[in-house]
Structure 1
Amino acid sequence: MTAQTTDTVLYRGEDYDLIGLIAAEPITPQDFGMTPAMISTACYRGYFCTYAIEDDRLFLVEMTLRERDGRYLPIGGIQPVADAREATCSYKDLRIPVDYTGSLRLASGFVRECYIHMGYQKASAFETVLDFSLDAGRIVRVHDRSAEAARKRGAFKKHFEENVAWGIQESFDLDMDIW
């Protein structure tokens, strides 16, 4: 197993990893009539996205995917650009409003010593951790969880190493536990 490619969120000039959510994913290839297929062991779900938060609103700005049947449809009038080396296509320069209602956890400043070579990295492995509550794609609340993540620094890695069977399953979960 391999650490998974995360979605990226651009917020206030910084890149954040999307490491947790409550509710479904903000947007998927299925929303555009496409079915993803595994890209690699680092991307089992078959796609990854870049979002931007601008004017307290969530937008999809890029999507890279491997479409199961090789049927890449335009997104927002944008044609995909192929990457034959990865057998994927990318949709760049999008600005699709995402009407997501739920919570997203964004993190930056990864602490390398906390790396788990499996699934998604947890909040306790990052310096900055922000929880966003959204209603119909609009930010209604931002809660800084960085201090709590710092207090639990490395807790998930320690627990993972002590209980690998549990850790494998938990590492692929995008829950909102701090760990």
Structure 2
Amino acid sequence: MTMDSLLFCVRQRMAETDVCASIGPSAQAEMTPSEMLKVKVCPQTANGTSNFVYLGEVKQLVGLCAWWAFKTWGKYNRAYTFTKRIESFTEHCNLGKIPLTVLYLNQDGLPLGMASLRSNDGIRPDIGPWLGSVYVDPSVRRLGIGAKLVKEIERKAKELGYEKIFLLTYEETLPNWYLKLGWKETGEDVCHGNPVTVMEIDLG
């Protein structure tokens, strides 16, 4: 089953129930991908009119974040298994410190995307923190959600006292997108044997 068909199934499921699940990260490692995609967030969880919620507030979504990351970037690091990603995103359940992950919810509480801020992303341990795991559901791409997620991470990083953040991207087309958001290229590197573009942005 493709990711798109799984997401279609979860949307059908969301139309049938208003139950807001609460599932511990340890139990999520035993869930199937389709089960993880059935996890919904209570719309009230998002503060005010904001579409953002942090993973530390909705730990039941650790499995979904791990699944998104595994399906999107797993090909670049085969050793970084789905179970290890569950463990990693469990560590992202923070609000006032890194690592952390923010999710974008629609008006019904369905997660549509995520972005993370972490101290390291596999290269250059001398610099950081790093924006990573920027993901948007394919059905709602090109609607500005990705840019909103990036800007929210920038805002959060500045709130935490950081003056600059970095990112790496495997995709050749993404640097141009980040350039439009105010980022700049700083060079090339290799991450897990794959060439990457390194970028940064000043938060001042």
Q: TM tier, shorter chain?
A: under 0.3
| TM-score after normalising by structure 1 | 0.25
Higher RCO by CA contacts (8 Å cutoff, separation 6 or greater): 1
| TM-score after normalising by structure 2 | 0.23
